[in-house]
Every structure is written in C-alpha cells, then in structure tokens.
A and B are shown apart, each in its own frame.
Chain A
C-alpha cells in the first residue's frame, strides 16, 4: 500500500536518536532494570537487531559482543552429564566464572533458557558469526529436555510455566541450527492447534512457517479466520485483543502475522505509522508501548520492526517469521549451504 506520509515534525522518524538509544542499552542500564537480569541476552538481541534494522551495526565492536555472548553458553561437561541443561543463559547471574570455551563447568543450578538460546543464536548471526563455537549437540539435547507430553515447552529444565512462546523459541532454534531433532514437531503442531484461541497468534503462525507446515496444520478456512482475527486488531496502530488499548509492539506481532498470511498489504499503513511514531521518544530515542510513556528496548525494537514492515525508508527489511533482518537471514542461509555441503553431514 502507498503511504501518505504526514510531514509534520511529530511524525519525523528520528533515526539517530534510536541508534544512540540502542548504543546506550548495550552499555549500562540503571538498577531499576534489575528485573531484566536473567533475560539480558534478549535485551542484547533487541539492541543488535534494532541497530541492524537501522543499518547501523558499525557503531559497535562486534567481536567483543560475540565473546560475551559465547560466555553465556552452557557447555557440556567432560562426562556430558549435563547435556539436558545445555543452551545459553540470559546472563552470568548465578555466578559461573567467565569463560568463552569449554568444557562446561558442573554447577547445581546452571542451565540454559530457551528464549536466551534463541536470542543468543540470532544475536550471533546478526553479528556475522558462523556459529562454529555453538555446541549444537548440547543445544538440541537441552531443547529436547524442555518439551512436555502435550507438545509445549518449558523455558528451563528446572521447570517453569509452559506455553506457545517457548514453542516459537524452539522452532527458531531448530530452524537456525538446521536440525529439527530438537523437537517433536507433530506434538508441537497439536499444541499449536489447540491454543489458537489465545492471543499468541504470532508464535503459532511463525512457528508453523518455520517448520514449513502452515498449510498442513491449518485449513484454508482456519487461515481465513486467523487473517480476519488479526486484521481486526488494527485500531490506529494495533492491539493484541479486542477492547484493549493499542500498543506499539503489536504493530510487529500482528503485522508480521498478517505478512506471513499474505494480507498485510490490506492494512492501513498511514494510521499504523502515525501511531508508532506517536510513541517515539524524541528526546532519548526508542519507542514506548503508548504515547507519553517511557521507551524501553523491547518496544524500541518492535516499533522499528513495525515501521520496517510498512516500508519506512532507510530501514532494513525484517524476515517476519525469524524476526531478524533479511541480511542476517541470508547469512544464515549461506551457513546452511556450507553445513549441508560439507562431508559427513547427516540429514
């Protein structure tokens, strides 16, 4: 769709502010962000992918960040007794000594977190890393240990709530590692079908697309109903459920779902853009969930992705299912080609 761009200052997209917002995010956050400690790697992802969408990864030292990310990998111990706990941590909060290489150190409470493994791998890809230091056997074993009978996933082997968000993380991990032995796809699909009532539509559709099973799992009629459900979420920007306020991040969650279903072009780009920009923080950069609210890394990232979907100039395109730029996605495809063509590769 063609956007009639409103040229008043309120709707100017302040690219440089957002670059600085993400730079600051990658440095130091004040103590009031304490609740993000165990998920810091996902915040790294928001900042890195945000800078990538802005075409501004050159402002950071990629190699140094790559080292830090690898230091969060939970590696197998010499005797491999902890394979079911491997993956990536959100941070060093439990006190593991800093190390970027193996073997793993046995610690009674050290284990990966599925969303951190997912965002850790994405972050490495965005930084141009070749994943050669990722212990794939560990990651996949750690992933298998998280899946329940009903097809859903825990986030950590110690147990947690289980729902479709973690199926999405698992699907991304398998997709990136080009190895679906990390999960029972059939069971996951059953759970997805059973949970479509809820608001986690993006996780459901994106997972099915990554698996290559969208049309197998959902009939044309069901897909039409999902299209209708999603397209009804637009009020100006988008909300997540009927009779709830719009929120910047849904411009991506719902927008990307509509894109995957082939109907994003039928949304109103102008109203969407105007809402997202009304949540832009003109002083410190970033975006907030609502106008006149404080920006945070998550909404800053998804605000950008929402703008990228509607074709905002100077923003890189985002792969709607994997949620990284098309450039990072192409890097991944090249890695897959290399892996598949090297000797002894089993598929």
Chain B
C-alpha cells in the first residue's frame, strides 16, 4: 500500500494509453529484448556469482513513485547493490556496470562506480572512449554520459577525437545543449580555437537560425581576438547584416549584433543606424524594430548634451517604433512595447513638471519578490 489512495477503476483510456506507451518504449529497447529467454541468464543463476548475496531495493512499507521493474532489471541491480555494499573491485563488477548502464544510463552511481573500477583495474581507456562514444550516439541528451566522457578525456589528457565526435553528434541535432557544452569545455581546456570559427560558419550556412551556432560564434571571438578591435567589429557587423538580408526574420542574428555592440553603445557605431533604417524598408522584422528602438534609447541615454530639439525628435522616433511594434509588427508583446514607450517618455519627455504626479508609478520594482535575508 502506498501513501496514496488507490484511484477507483482505472479508466479504459488510461489503460490504452499505457499500452501505447509501453509498445513505443519496447521499440527503443536495446538488443537483449529480442533475445530468446533461454539465452539470457539471470545473475542469480550464474555460478560465478553464487558467492554474492543480492541486495534488493528496500522501499519500506509505503513506497512512493515506485517503479515496477521486470525480473531482469531487478536481477541486475540487486547484484549491483551487492557489489556496492562491499565495494568490490573486480572484472565481473566492471562487466556488470555495462548491463546496469544498458538498463538505466541515467544512474549516476553506476557511472561513478564504473570510473572507480576503470582506475582500480587499470582498464584500457581507449576502449572506454569507444564505449562511451557508442552510448552517447544512442543517448545524446543524457548528462551522465557526457560527464563520463569528459572524465575519460581528462584522464587520457587527449582531446584529439573530441571536435570530430561532437561535430558528428551535432550533425544529428545541431542544437544539442550537452554537445555544445562539451565542445566549449574541450576548446577552452585544450586551446583548440583555431578552426572553430570556420566550423561555426559552416553550421550557419546549413541553418542561419541555429542559435547555438551564433552563441558559439560569440564564444570563439570573445575568447580569441575579442571585440575591441574595430576591424573585427566591422567584419562582424557586415557578417550579421549579410545573414539578415538572407533571412530577415531571425532573432539570433539580431541578438548577436546587439550583443557585440551594446556595451560600447549602439548609437556610437557610425553609419549603423542608417544601414538599419535602409533594411527596415525591405527586410523588416520585430527584431529590426526592437534594435532601432534600442539605438534611439541609447542615443537618449548617452548624449545628454545634445540639443533638446534633437532629443525630442529621437524620442518621437522611438515612440513611433513602440507603436508600430505594439499595433502591427509584434502584437503579442503589445503591452510590453507600450510599457517601454511610457517609460522612455517619462525618463526623457520634455520638462518633467508637465508630467502628472502618477508618472513615477510606472517605474517597477526590480523584483516583484525580494526576500529579506
């Protein structure tokens, strides 16, 4: 009995759904599943394991979220628990970890124990690289497998397979977060910057909307040449605008552009505003308009000694953009754009004495929830 009232009569829909999901799950099970029952021997029937007393999972009188394991699954893990208890360091233990991983590659204790054994038994780490390569191919979105690979690479102190391997994984899913994290780690750790920009560009050729690739572009350049060299900045601006012309509705390209310029002030880049205003006519998007707004806002924030007339014109253009976004080009964020317009107005509007007293009320708390410590 669990600590939960049994629900009355499972509906037929739930039963059907469960059968459908079980069938789907079976399709994705490993090789053993199709094996004749007579070929697979439970550990409890293997004589070379007879000395070990299996340790069942002890859930207590009222287990919660209990998982219903098959005999095959429990058998492997009962012996895994037995090995753990005595901290056995042996070949048979090492072999069992592969079975345990096959059944549940997310069990971090199994992976940790396997690493202990790899070292205690001085196992061939090259073979382990092959092993982990295969596992990651099958389960590329699992944290434990990537962490394991990282440990083996560190022990071998050999990153030479990594970039090619990660590229292969990315060819199946170009946005796999784990793959990108591993890639950034290996590049930074082993200083493998040389060909990465080229790699990024090839991915952006494949899909100019790949946000991870744009992120990687920023990662590479900021850690190599940096963005203080005006030639680099100019090259990157050109690259961005080129990609935007090819695919205007691409938030990633506009985010990248803003990201490389915002710390120096968007309005300080000569000629950029004009180029963006040109693009507005033929390659408009909510992101272009947001960028324009940010340029105008930056101009207002950072050129306090500009003539009042010019400032009011800039403010007016910015407010026009807000209206265009709110009413037509980015209506899902209507409330936000109108809020930004009001904020800008109250910060830079002509003579604050004209503003009604409530104008300050719009300024929001940095947090709706700040906890007293």
A binds B: yes
- Enumerate chain A interface residues (CB-CB to B < 8 A): 1, 20, 23-40, 43-44, 47, 59-65, 67-69, 71, 91-98, 100, 107-109, 155-156, 158-161, 175, 180, 197, 199, 209-212, 214-215, 220, 223, 225, 228, 231-232, 234-236, 241-244, 259-268, 271, 281, 283-284, 294, 319-321
Residues of A within 8 A of B143 (CB): 160-161
Q: Could you tell me the distance between the alpha carbons of A69 and B65 in the complex, rounded to whole angstroms? A: 11
Q: Does B14 contact A (CB under 8 A)?
A: yes
The answer to whether B68 touches A31, judged by C-beta atoms less than 8 angstroms apart, is yes
The answer to whether B65 touches A210, judged by C-beta atoms less than 8 angstroms apart, is no
**Among candidates A61, A91, A159, A284, residue contacting B4 with C-beta atoms closer than 8 Å:** A61
The answer to whether B367 touches A95, judged by C-beta atoms less than 8 angstroms apart, is no
A23 and B60 in contact (CB under 8 A), knowing A37-B104, A209-B370? Answer: no
The answer to whether A38 touches B108, judged by C-beta atoms less than 8 angstroms apart, is yes
Which residues of B from 28 to 73 have beta carbons under 8 Å from A? Answer: 55-70, 73
A223 and B64 in contact (CB under 8 A), knowing A27-B2, A242-B211, A243-B211? Answer: no
The answer to whether B175 touches A244, judged by C-beta atoms less than 8 angstroms apart, is yes
Q: B80-88, B163-171, B350-358: which lies at the A interface?
A: B80-88
The answer to whether A212 touches B339, judged by C-beta atoms less than 8 angstroms apart, is no
Tally the A-B contacts, defined by beta carbons under 8 Å: 247
Residue on A nearest B21 in the bound complex, by CB = A294
Residue on A nearest B2 in the bound complex, by CB = A27
Residues of A within 8 A of B7 (CB): 20, 23-24, 27
Given A1-B335, A160-B147, 7 extra CB contacts under 8 A:
A34-B103, A92-B58, A92-B59, A94-B109, A95-B85, A243-B209, A263-B364
**Among candidates A65, A180, A241, A261, residue contacting B3 with C-beta atoms closer than 8 Å:** A65
Q: B119-127, B192-200, B230-238, B247-255: which lies at the A interface?
A: B247-255
Residue on A nearest B1 in the bound complex, by CB = A64
Residues of A within 8 A of B336 (CB): 231, 263, 266-267
Residues of B within 8 A of A268 (CB): 332-335
Question: How close is B135's CB to chain A, nearest CB, in angstroms?
Answer: 13
Residues of A within 8 A of B142 (CB): 35
Residues of A within 8 A of B290 (CB): 228, 232
A158 and B112 in contact (CB under 8 A), knowing A64-B2, A109-B84? Answer: yes
The answer to whether A67 touches B67, judged by C-beta atoms less than 8 angstroms apart, is no
**Among candidates A96, A212, A259, residue contacting B371 with C-beta atoms closer than 8 Å:** A212
**Among candidates A96, A160, A243, residue contacting B251 with C-beta atoms closer than 8 Å:** A243
A209 and B367 in contact (CB under 8 A), knowing A23-B4, A31-B69, A243-B211? Answer: yes
Question: How close is B257's CB to chain A, nearest CB, in angstroms?
Answer: 13
Question: How close is B218's CB to chain A, nearest CB, in angstroms?
Answer: 8
The answer to whether A37 touches B67, judged by C-beta atoms less than 8 angstroms apart, is yes
Q: Does B227 contact A (CB under 8 A)?
A: no
